[in-house]
């Protein structure tokens, strides 16, 4: 099979028939063998009934997954990726803002130009400023942290992947925003970008909210930390813990030596516990010890993980 199209959706009953008709027209025009995987993420409208109707009409093409409740886009993509059988996997949103006409170009970039992943870039957007400005800030931060400097739109729903990519990454929580970063961490480094057409929303309303913007930054920090210290937490916690303990110990030593020096020279002195520097030093030592123990416990947990030796092996002879 040439292409699997994975479409996560939530309350998009009006757009589904038009979207599938558009996809079908593009696929047949280019003689692609394909499947369309609709992942219904706990919709409260008639989206699933529409999917069932499409599957009854085109049983060899349309497939569906229905969640009992709303889990989010990342779980929907994860389940769609597990079922995808095409050599190239395309993801797109169900709201008709992603154009199926872009699929042949994305497919060629994967199959002919050798990319592992191609992300769409909606260079000209039809979203309100309340969405576009946070998106620009988010993407600038994501480029800096991930080191993938050639991507302008990490969160674009329109992406293409080699099959091996989606089978070797785990999209969880709300990590769908950082699939290029996940792919890079898994060893798929040929990541490209294609300018794609962005259409104004035709049906329904946007699911974007400020909480997604905030959660996006928190997830980025998590992913950055796990990519560097996920299997070696002692390297960061142990380092900072040791540094703080040593600084605290030296500070306490200075306070004690200062008192002894004053006593030896007959100068007035006060109790060590009367000095605020002693308690600051003690606090540093306690926090440093806690950091060190956190790293130690993190290392013990990491060593028990089933994925501790999950290395990406491309070929063997």
Boundary residue ending a domain (176, 199, 229): 229
Work out whether strand 34-40 and strand 62-66 pair parallel, antiparallel, or are unpaired. parallel
Q: Are residues 79 and 117 in the same domain?
A: yes
Q: Are residues 272 and 200 in the same domain?
A: no
Neighbours of 242 (CB within 10 A): 15
Q: Are residues 93 and 221 in the same domain?
A: yes
Residue 97, domain member (yes or no) = yes
Task: Report angle CA 135, 100, 86 to the nearest 5 degrees.
Answer: 100
Q: Are residues 216 and 241 in the same domain?
A: no
Lowest mean per-residue pLDDT among 187-201, 209-223, 260-274:
209-223
| Tens-digit pLDDT profile for residues 10-26 | 999 999 999 999 999 99
| Tens-digit pLDDT profile for residues 152-187 | 988 899 999 999 999 999 888 788 888 999 999 889
What pLDDT sits at residue 311? 47
Residue 203: pLDDT band (50, 70, 90) is low
Q: Are residues 203 and 243 in the same domain?
A: no
Residues 6+ apart with CB under 8 A from 297: none
What pLDDT sits at residue 275? 81
Residue 210, domain member (yes or no) = yes
Residues 6+ apart with CB under 8 A from 116: 110, 161, 162, 164, 165, 183, 188, 189, 190, 191
Residue 312, domain member (yes or no) = no
Would you state the structure tokens that stand for residue 277, as one six-digit string?
A: 């520097």
Residues 6+ apart with CB under 8 A from 266: none
To the nearest whole percent, how much of the chain has pLDDT over 70? 85
Q: Are residues 209 and 239 in the same domain?
A: no
Q: Are residues 133 and 259 in the same domain?
A: no
Query: Looking at the predicted structure, is the pLDDT value of residue 7 above 90?
Result: yes
Q: Are residues 214 and 238 in the same domain?
A: no
Question: Rounded distance, CA 81 to CA 258, Å?
Answer: 66
Nearest to 104 by CA among 83, 116, 118: 118
Residue 264, domain member (yes or no) = yes
Q: Are residues 199 and 222 in the same domain?
A: yes
Q: Are residues 142 and 97 in the same domain?
A: yes
Q: Are residues 172 and 258 in the same domain?
A: no
What pLDDT sits at residue 207? 56
Nearest to 185 by CA among 217, 239, 150, 225: 225
CATH number of the structural domain spanning residue 17: 3.90.550.10
pTM greater than 0.75 (yes/no): no
Domain range for 246 is 234-304
């Amino acid at each position: 099979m040439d292409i699997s199209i994975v479409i996560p959706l939530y309350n998009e009953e009006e757009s589904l028939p038009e979207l599938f008709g558009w996809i079908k027209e593009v696929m047949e025009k280019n003689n692609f063998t394909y499947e369309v995987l609709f992942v219904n993420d706990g919709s409260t409208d008639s989206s699933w009934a529409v999917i069932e109707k499409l599957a009854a009409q085109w049983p060899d093409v349309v497939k569906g997954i229905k969640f009992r409740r709303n889990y989010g886009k990342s779980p929907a993509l994860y389940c769609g990726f597990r079922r995808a059988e095409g050599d190239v996997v395309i993801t797109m949103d169900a709201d008709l803002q992603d154009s199926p006409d872009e699929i042949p170009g994305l497919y060629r970039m994967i199959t002919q130009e050798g990319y592992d992943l191609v992300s769409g870039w909606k260079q000209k957007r039809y979203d309100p400023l309340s969405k576009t400005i946070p998106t620009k800030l988010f993407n600038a931060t994501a480029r800096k942290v991930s080191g993938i400097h050639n991507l302008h739109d990490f969160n674009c729903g329109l992406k293409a992947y080699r099959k091996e990519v989606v089978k070797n990454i785990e999209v969880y929580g709300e990590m769908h925003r950082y699939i290029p970063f996940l792919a890079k961490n898994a060893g798929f480094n040929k990541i490209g970008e294609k300018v794609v057409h962005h259409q104004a929303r035709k049906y329904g309303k946007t699911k974007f909210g400020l909480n997604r913007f905030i959660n996006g930054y928190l997830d980025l920090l998590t992913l950055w930390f796990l990519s560097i210290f996920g299997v070696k937490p002692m390297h960061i916690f142990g380092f900072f813990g040791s540094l703080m303990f040593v600084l605290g110990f030296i500070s306490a030593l200075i306070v004690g030596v200062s008192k002894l020096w004053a006593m030896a020279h007959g100068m007035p002195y006060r109790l060590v516990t009367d000095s605020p520097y002693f308690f600051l030093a003690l606090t540093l030592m306690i926090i440093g010890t806690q950091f060190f123990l956190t790293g130690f416990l993190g290392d013990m947990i990491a060593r028990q993980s089933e994925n501790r030796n999950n290395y990406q092996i491309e070929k063997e002879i």
